[in-house]
Structure 1
Amino acid sequence: MSKIIRKAKGMPASDGAGVKLSRIIGQPGLKRLDPFLMLDEFGSEDAKDYIAGFPQHPHRGFQTVTYMLEGKMGHKDSVGNEGVIEDGGLQWMNAGKGIIHEEMPQQTQGRMRGFQLWVNLPASQKMSEPGYQDIPSGHIPEVIKQGALIRVLAGHFEGVEGPVKTQAIHPQFLDIHFQNDASISWPVDAKQNGFVYVYEGAVQVDGTTVEKGELGVLEFDGLMTITARSNAKAIVVSGTPINEPIVQYGPFVMNTEAEIQQALQDYQKGVLA
């Protein structure tokens, strides 16, 4: 039976041009969870907490995932991609050898809430061509199982395939909405690392309770069972660990210090992307 081996609670932080958020992975209590480098939750009804957005900034060597629960966020990048992520939509971007992009709110009032996840790439793919998937909510399949609605963003669930195409770490990304005290089970890959993050209510995994705003690091053992305590909502994310050295300098994530220096030089010369 899969279980939770540790828990972490988000820490208040800000990023971009001052967007207020909670940093869950990428903080002292949980620096990384291979292959995941960072997880942020952002959410506010006060426009001044998010309106400045994330102006142009570079990335190299990993992927960024933005999942919007509520609100509208626009995207533009240096290789010509442009789009708007709306309620329930997903953006999965491969920075690869280099990309410069911006993510800016497309609203001036109302609630904005969502997640950003940073996913590492193996050395063999760190200098891959940049790529981008803009997936509207209507293109994300949903499965009803044992009193829960499961949105399959990436990977497979009950024979349903999520729309995310990248296979760098064979990701599974589920957004689970529980009805009352529903309990669901499904097979999982014991070789993967993963986590459950609760954003409404509370859940239990093998007797361990995870409350709203907490992340539970999972140890997979063939079968995953989650039981809700009330109408909970949670994301469950997993991927194959890369097990390679990580050298990170801000938005550049490589394997060696020399590669970081090269990324900085390329950015300064304007040849990053």
Structure 2
Amino acid sequence: MAPTSTTRQIARLVNAQPSQDGDGVKIQRLHDFGGGLDPFLMLDELASDQPDDYIGGFPPHPHRGIQTLTYVIHGGLTHEDHLGHSSTINAGDAQWMHTGRGIIHSEMPLTDHQGLHAFQLWLNLAAEDKLSEATYRDVRADEMPELAGSDAFLTTLGGHWQTLAGDSVAGPLTRLAGQGAVAHARLEPGGELALENHATTLLVYVFAGGLDVAGTRIEKGQLARLDSGEALRLTSAEGGQALLLAGEPHGEPIAHYGPFVMNRQAELEQALRDYRDGTLTD
């Protein structure tokens, strides 16, 4: 007799908190620089139909030691960096940045009739990759394959995703830190999505409506960390949307200051000196 998949349950729920970043951009933020979401560090949600909440954007600033993934629901963002990349992403598009040793970039918002709704995810780089070469790429909406459930859809940005029925796809982002996988789940009223997922870290962030994980409710603005198992079952009576994040922990020390994430305090101090001296990106 074939073994029955163990359905993953909610181990912890965390509420997003209001914050500001960049030039006064209002966001909802979830973060854990103590390793509790390893390999993920932070998730920011930008959602407003009031231009004053986001129009200042994120003027040029540095990073070292992380990857960022920005995903737009509606509106848009224009990226520029010291490597010469300049591009705009719109609804359904994403941009991925491997900061490695150092990158200096800006992200400036574009609006549509609904305002701006976007996410930025930080993934921690393993110690061996902290000082690697920086790189960047765009991912367009038509590059992202979908999986279907029962009145449910999963858009895959990166990593491998598979339904319990055996259908599978791989997202275009193949170099997410910590064997990372990211997807956007959309459930219609009464919808159900059943996925096979063995990742050590599995997170569900609900940003519209509400979802149930194995019968336990997740409200809009909540992040659920799942316990161990092989199956993720999402349902929704009224419909809902969520980001799904899966990955494997690095299990390494984390030292964080502002835009820099390293392993030791001495490395943070070196990053600050390099930025002041103009050698961060050398």
Contact 2:35 2:254 in 1 (8 A): no
Q: Which moved more, 1:93-102 or 1:152-161?
A: 152-161
Deviation (angstroms), 1:32: 4.5
Give the match for residue 207 of structure 1: 215
* Cα 1:193–1:20 shift into 2, 3 Å: same
Residues 130-173 of structure 1 show CA distances to partners (whole Å, capped at 9, x for unaligned) of 11121111211122222211101111223211010214311111
What is the aligned length?
Answer: 270
* Cα 1:15–1:31 shift into 2, 3 Å: farther
1:10-89 → structure 2 map (5 Å cutoff): 10-26=16-32, 32-89=36-93
Question: Secondary structure, in 3 states, of the residue corresponding to 1:259?
Answer: helix
Deviation (angstroms), 1:207: 2.3
Question: Secondary structure, in 3 states, of the residue corresponding to 1:268?
Answer: helix
Deviation (angstroms), 1:26: 4.3
Residues 61-94 of structure 1 show CA distances to partners (whole Å, capped at 9, x for unaligned) of 0111111101010000111111111001111110
Contact 1:46 1:110 in 2 (8 A): no
Distance 2:101 2:198 in 1: 29
Contact 1:67 1:91 in 2 (8 A): yes
Give the match for residue 5 of structure 1: 11
Question: Secondary structure, in 3 states, of the residue corresponding to 2:280?
Answer: coil
Deviation (angstroms), 1:106: 2.9
Deviation (angstroms), 1:38: 0.7
1:123-272 → structure 2 map (5 Å cutoff): 123-157=127-161, 158-190=167-199, 192-272=200-280
Structure 1: stretches of 5+ with no match in the other structure: none
Q: Which moved more, 1:237-246 or 1:177-186?
A: 177-186
**Matched AA of 2:38:** D
Distance 1:60 1:92 in 2: 14
**Matched AA of 2:270:** Q
* Cα 1:52–1:31 shift into 2, 3 Å: farther
Superposition RMSD in Å: 1.6
Contact 1:46 1:109 in 2 (8 A): no
- Percent identity, aligned pairs only, is 40
Question: Secondary structure, in 3 states, of the residue corresponding to 2:178?
Answer: coil
Question: Secondary structure, in 3 states, of the residue corresponding to 1:241?
Answer: coil
Deviation (angstroms), 1:206: 2.0
Normalised TM-score (structure 1) = 0.95
Distance 1:26 1:156 in 2: 24
Q: Which moved more, 1:212-221 or 1:62-71?
A: 212-221
Contact 2:196 2:230 in 1 (8 A): yes
Structure 2: stretches of 5+ with no match in the other structure: 1-6, 162-166
Distance 2:40 2:236 in 1: 25
Contact 1:133 1:164 in 2 (8 A): no
Contact 1:6 1:217 in 2 (8 A): yes
